[in-house]
Structures are given as structure tokens and as C-alpha cells.
Amino acid sequence: MKDGPATVPSDRYSRQILFRPIGHSGQEKLRNARVAVVGLGALGTVLSSQLVRAGVGYVRLIDRDIVEPSNLQRQSLYDEADADNHVPKALAAAAKLRQANRTVEVAAIVEDLTWRNAESRLRDVDLILDGTDNFEVRYLINDVAVKHNVPWVYGGAVSSYGTAGIIRPRHTPCLVCLFGPDQGSGHDTCDTVGVIAPAVSIVASLQVAEALKYLTGNLDALSPGLTHIDVWRNEFRTVRYPTPNPDCPCCARRQFPSLAQRQDALAVSLCGRNTVQVRPNPSSGESAEPAFALANLAERLARVADVHYQPHLLWCNFGHVQISLFPDGRALIHGVSNPVEARNLYARYIGM
């Protein structure tokens, strides 16, 4: 027999189809569904794994980071080889997921989600899943979701607790209705209070449950509010959504400040470790960013650093700091927490 399109073993989804609310018609809906997972950390690896195994037809993975040893405790798609080789998370996850289900189209995008690319990356899917660890990106997702009427599933977990819920523009309050226009700082992060794997995997599983209900048309089964869990205190409760704020700047007045920002933070600290992301001075407008000649840089930096070059990433170890450089000029400076110091290192070794 000639190689044709990949065939699905007929019993691959049999247990899921036996589940009455899904059945054959629900399975067919999943096959035709397109989703995006933003962030391939602890939440995102569970989200994408369950969605791909469930047979969601197209899964887009968006992440800006590389795999590191401290991820392995809870980021279940990665292994030690991924960390040793500094593989971008989106690529490492995609490789594992394609092994799990070759009938699903998995697209990997190694990018930081910003006002420049958020609409083009998110507006054409049926559902967005939040695997991020910060509110800046969640407000960006919320702006795209409301502007283009794409539902999204919120999720967040730190320490032993977390929250999940589906946000459907025109049906539920949006993120701004729920938390105000600026969540601000001061809340717990995995930097300050740590995080344990069961909290994250339960929150991600709750998110996938909402996704499966929504994508199979079981709208009556959707949770009526945000669900909060704490696996250490043995708590599980759902707080009903309030009615959407009739004066919400986002979903009522349709202002989208995250998309209108038109500027990039040049250096930001990443949650969870001693790393700062640095961008070169951006050109104005949404046009393509300069493609860095990673191969040339690799040759130059090999004189002063231990260099590991792969097509999507140049990784350089200077001893006290390490730099991961991506083709669009974005860099992760590992081993520093001060944005000014990180910018200086970027200027010194890569050039601005």
C-alpha cells in the first residue's frame, strides 16, 4: 500500500467516544477544531498533551522560552536531553506531541506574544488556551479574544492552588470585567512561593475539560464561573461569574490597550528563575524583524564562549552567564535578574 494520509487506528478514541456527551459527533467536531496554546510551561504541556491525545485537529503551540533543568519537575513533555540541548519549548513539545498522535497537526511557534503578532497568531482559532504565567500576556489574549470574538480558557497556578475558567466574549465577563484593567503586581508568583506539579496539572485539566465541552458543543455543561482549587488545603469551589460589566473598557467599550500599545518592553525578567528577556531596539510598525545571522554570530562568539548552534537558536555559555539568541534578535540572558545588566550584556556580546 502506498503511503497515504496517516490513518487513525479505529480504537484510538473509543473510550472518549463511549463517553455519551462526546460520542461520534463530538469526536468529529474535535477533529475539525483549531486551538492555540499560549505558553508551554507547566500548564501548557498538560494542556497540549491532553488536547492532542483527544484528537483536536490542529494545535498551535506558542512559547518564547527554552527547556531548562528546573522545568523538569513539573513540565511533563520535556526530558533531560531537551534541557541539555537548550531546545526551545515549542519545538520540544511539538516533537513529543507528534509522537503521541500523528493524525493531529501540531504547529510550533518560537516567539514572544506581543501586540505585533498576537492578532495574527490567535484570531483564526476556535479557542485559545492560557498556559502563561503572567497577566501582561493574559490581558493581551483577552484583547484579541474580545476584539475577534474568540473564546479563551484562563488558567493560573502557583504554590498549591490555582484557578481556571472559560471566558466567552458576549456570554461571560471578560478578564477586565473580572480583575479590572490592571492586575498589577504584588500577587504570588512561582518565583516567590514556588509551585507543585499536582496543582498545575489539576488546573490544566480543568481548562481542558472546559475546552472539550466547548469544542464538542456541550455549552450547557460549561462551568458557570471560575473554579478555585487548593490541593494542600483540600479545597474545590466554583464562584459564579458576575454579569459582564456594562461599562467594561474592553468588552463594552471595545478599547484594547494591550494591542494599541505599539511599544515593546526592551528587557523583562521571566518568572521562575534568574533570566531576563532582551529585544533589540525594535523597528516601528509590524513589519518583519531583522533575521539575525546566527551562524556568523556563532563563529564570532566561539572565541569567547562555549557555543551551541542549532537552526532556531544560538546558545552561548560565558561561564557566569548564558545567552540564548533567537533568529529575530530576541535573547534570553540567563544568570542575571537585573534588566539593565542584561541589556549591557546583550550590547556587549551581540550588539544593538
> By the 8 A CB rule, do 93 and 71 touch?
no
Separation of alpha carbons 99 and 171, rounded Å: 37
Shortest reach from residue 241's CB to Zn ion, in Å: 11
Q: Which stretch binds Zn ion (CB under 5 A): 6-14, 70-78, 129-137, 241-249?
A: 241-249
316 binding Zn ion? (CB under 5 A): no
Give the helix ranges, DSSP H, for the chain.
14-18, 23-31, 42-54, 80-84, 89-100, 118-122, 135-148, 175-179, 190-193, 197-215, 257-260, 294-301, 339-349
**Which residues from 177-206 bind Zn ion, rule CB under 5 A?**
177
251 binding Zn ion? (CB under 5 A): yes
250 binding Zn ion? (CB under 5 A): yes
Name which of 56 and 176 has its Cβ closer to Zn ion.
Answer: 176
Output the CA angle 310-311-316, nearest 5 degrees.
40
174 binding Zn ion? (CB under 5 A): yes
Q: Which stretch binds Zn ion (CB under 5 A): 5-13, 76-84, 176-184, 191-199?
A: 176-184
Shortest reach from residue 319's CB to Zn ion, in Å: 49
Cα dihedral across residues 241, 246, 252, 253: positive or negative: negative
In the residue annotation, 190 being an active-site residue is answered as: yes
Separation of alpha carbons 177 and 217, rounded Å: 25
Shortest reach from residue 176's CB to Zn ion, in Å: 5
Name which of 11 and 247 has its Cβ closer to Zn ion.
Answer: 247
Name which of 87 and 251 has its Cβ closer to Zn ion.
Answer: 251
Element (H, E) at 235: strand 235-240
144 binding Zn ion? (CB under 5 A): no
Catalytic, out of 174, 177, 190, 248:
190
145 binding Zn ion? (CB under 5 A): no
Phi-psi region of 284 (alpha: psi -120 to 50; beta: other; left: phi over 0): beta
Among positions 35, 109, 176, 345, the unique one binding Zn ion when judged by CB under 5 A: 176
Catalytic residues: 190
Q: Which residues bind Zn ion (CB under 5 A)?
A: 174, 176-177, 248, 250-251
